[in-house]
Amino acid sequence: MNMNTSKKQEGFVIAVLAIVLLALVGFLALAVDIGVLYSARTSAQGVADAAALAGAFTFINDTKSPQPQTASDNALQVALNNSILGQPVAAGDVNVNVDTANRRVTVDVQSTQNTYFARALGVQTANVG
């Protein structure tokens, strides 16, 4: 009788350990991957800010007849010269809007980042920006 109880407890411990390990991987994925994604988001925001400033600088340099296409090209070029967590920014990841009337340039930068521990839970990539 004592031997049977011991084997049942061993099986229970293994089952509980498996559940605890799964939860631990989930929390690890949450901590590490979300930290990396927030870092990528901050980097993408920095790229967007630099690109918007470069585009807006066109309006300062050419006050007589600012060219929206020149502002857009300058903003896009600055965005493409930067990277997000070591990955170069692609032209398709950048959206530049030029408002000539208000002399405003708005830049949105998107990035797809790979996950590390969340892959164990089926999440391969995440979009930031």
Could you report the per-residue pLDDT of 16-34, keeping only the tens digit for each?
899 999 888 888 878 999 9
Identify the burial level of 47 via C-beta atoms within 10 angstroms of its C-beta, where 0-12 means exposed, 13-18 middle and 19 or more buried.
buried
Write down the mean pLDDT value for the chain.
87
Report whether pLDDT(7) > 90. no
Print the domain residue range for 121. 2-128
Q: How many domains does the chain have?
A: 1
Pick 40 or 2 by higher pLDDT.
Answer: 40
CB 29 within 8 A of CB 117: yes
* pTM listed for this prediction: 0.77
